[in-house]
Amino acid sequence: MPVIDLPNIRLHVQELNPGGRETIIMVHGMFSNLAVYYFNIAPMLAKHFRVVLFDMKGHGMSGKVKTGYDLTSMTNDLHDLMDALGIEKAHLAGYSYGGLVALKMAARFPERVGKLAIIEGPDPSEQETLAIIDTYSKEFLIHYIENFADTTRLLAGKRQLEKNHRMYEFLFNETSIRSDMEAEKAFFNDPSVAAIPHETLLIYGEDSNCVPSGRTLASRIPNAKLVLAPGDHNVPVQQPEVIGKELEKFLKPGHRRLLEKHPGARRPRPTEID
């Protein structure tokens, strides 16, 4: 479990298929960690790509800091991580607030990003955004404990709950995370978002409160397509195979040509919204 020293933070990083010809970097959401991808979605993508996962600052096994949870600081970390790993250009996938980090990265450093996949990226201007992220992050942690603990599940689960309780306490009470997130309220209206040139896949749970956010992004990013999958805001945990297959199809070369050639071959679920 390597920890990489960057100019401003130490980040815990995991790689799958490090010899892959193309790289995808996956960004988790606030109050969770890289495990949201590690056990299901990342191994699917690692059949074709080098997959890089990392715990954002203040999360998982990465360094704990009290400030710097705004999108500019987060993308500075990601930029530094790419430099440290020798990654000139990578596809990006981000979930929840991690999706906003991916969007900001594409807007600030377009030359470093290939394709862009946003999973349940919430509109920061919505009053419910922080509550949604908080509620579903807790659900994710419970799911993680119940499904991915080892044979000493009860003991490991108790330890994990205590560990994540401390993480919540730290993030909520000792950092600028809430004010930093609230300061991003105008992000979806930023001209830089509408100027994102990358081919972009937007995946949202059909029962999610964030579907309007997906529709907003689809209307503003010129080269974006919205797909609705069964589930709610926690769709990567609820439907990892569906999400993995959508990402795999999107990232593999030639996927757009196939869609244009066979428009009638689309699955009824997930639903693609043109």
pLDDT in tens, 229-266: 999 988 998 999 999 999 999 998 765 433 333 333 33
Q: What pTM value is reported for the model? A: 0.85
**Are 48 and 85 contacting, i.e. CB atoms less than 8 angstroms apart?**
no
**Strand, coil or helix: 49:** coil
Least Cα distance to 73 among 33, 103, 101 occurs for: 101
pLDDT, mean over the chain? 85
Task: Spell out the alpha helix ranges (H) of 33-186.
Answer: 35-38, 41-45, 71-85, 97-108, 129-148, 153-174, 177-182
- Cβ contacts of residue 110 below 8 Å, gap of 6+? 196, 197, 198
Residue-number span of the structural domain to which 212 is assigned: 3-273
* Domain at 98, CATH number: 3.40.50.1820
pLDDT in tens, 205-224: 999 989 999 999 999 999 99
How many domains does the structure of the chain reveal?
Answer: 1
pLDDT in tens, 21-79: 999 999 999 888 898 999 999 999 999 999 999 999 999 899 999 999 999 999 999 99
